A and B are shown apart, each in its own frame.
Chain A
Amino acid sequence: MANNDISKNDKDQNKKRYEQVEKLKAELAKEVKNEFKNVREKKK
């Protein structure tokens, strides 16, 4: 019977996705922060 466990390749691909998530998260966090910064600056 064929092995039904995820392969090393699946695991590597999964790792890469989380690396992309890290980058995306940092980018979004920066955008959220900038949005807030703009609001604060407008207030001044």
Chain B
Amino acid sequence: MSLKKVKNFVNDPKALLFTELTNLMVISYFLIKKITNISLTDGLNKIFHEGATSFVIAFLLIVILISTIIVAIRIVADKFFAVEIAIGSTAGSNELSKLANKEISSHIKNIRTENKIEFLKHHHFDINIPFIVKELSSHIRDTINSKKVKSRDIFISVYKTTGFEFQNDVRELSYLTHYDPHRDVVVSRTIDLKADKYKNYECVKLFKEGKNLVAKSNCDDYHKTGKRNKKIMHYIAFGLYRDDYLMGVVNIEFLNNKLFNDDDDLEEFVYKNLIGYKHLVEYQFLKRQFFSALEGYYGE
């Protein structure tokens, strides 16, 4: 048995339970004995004959001895071996960073082999955004780390401002993707940022107020409208900007479970855990706009 296996064994939850219960029983016994003068041997002698009592006492002593050995190994192991650390899964971010590097390599290759600059053609914006969104959804569930929160409890949708690639006037948002794709939900195709009809939409308010984040921990006011809205417990919207120019919006809805007590709680969660993903989505939008400008520049 390797040292690592020994360390894992003595720190196993079942081993911890065993040693702690044994310690508790031994301490309790001596405490009761001191106060009441009750002896275990006398008690056992009343129940069993003498031979059986010796056997029970021997068994209990072995149990105490095993527990003591486990505790001793645990103390030594914790003192001399590396500190146990919880390693979070970074698989998603590994693949996202690999994707970004691979795409740049492919752009460099295309510049060298093709006569015409076609950056937009080789930038897989329509796939990259869903890729990041999917990873974002898994990341949220991993971070919250509650068995209660299932994939269906997180709903993400992404909108772009129509014609953002060409830096057109910001007038409306148009649907790009939503996750989970297998859920049959009602999602608007376009949202007119200047129409009265949508003035209460958080993404419209975000645009009008020039905010880059909306974090609502209490969504009771949504519950009056629409079937899906009844399930929304918390809501987050990220504005994707290039300077003051709104390129798109990421909406995140937390459904069914109340996970945050107030807006401060939710904002802390966002700043600690989600901002990186917002930047990854924003990067794709910026890249799209940059390539469009570059093609215009060199395409003449």
Residues of A within 8 A of B (CB-CB), count: 18
8 A Cβ contacts from B182-210 to A = 182, 184, 186-190
Is B222 interfacial (CB 8 A cutoff)?
Answer: no
Would B99 and A28 count as touching, CB distance under 8 A? yes
Residues of chain A with a CB closer than 8 A to B126's CB: 17
Residues of chain A with a CB closer than 8 A to B130's CB: 14, 17-18, 21
Contact with B along A21-44 (1 / 0, CB 8 A): 100110011011000000000000
- A25 touching B95 in the complex, CB below 8 Å, given contacts A14-B177, A18-B130: yes
Residues of B within 8 A of A (CB-CB), count: 23
Residues of chain A with a CB closer than 8 A to B188's CB: 4-6
Would A21 and B187 count as touching, CB distance under 8 A? no
Which residue from chain A places its CB closest to the CB of B94 in the assembled complex?
A: A32
Would A10 and B182 count as touching, CB distance under 8 A? no
Is B14 interfacial (CB 8 A cutoff)?
Answer: no
Question: Can you list 27 contacts pairing A with B, beta carbon distance less than 8 Å?
Answer: A4-B189, A5-B189, A6-B175, A6-B189, A10-B189, A11-B181, A11-B184, A14-B177, A14-B178, A15-B181, A17-B126, A17-B177, A17-B181, A18-B130, A18-B179, A18-B181, A20-B127, A21-B131, A21-B134, A24-B99, A24-B131, A25-B95, A25-B131, A28-B94, A29-B91, A29-B95, A31-B98
User: 7 other contacts beyond A5-B188, A21-B130, A31-B102, with CB at 8 A cut-off?
Assistant: A6-B187, A6-B189, A10-B189, A25-B95, A25-B134, A28-B102, A32-B94
Please list the residues of chain A having a beta carbon within 8 angstroms of any beta carbon in chain B: 4-7, 10-11, 14-15, 17-18, 20-21, 24-25, 28-29, 31-32
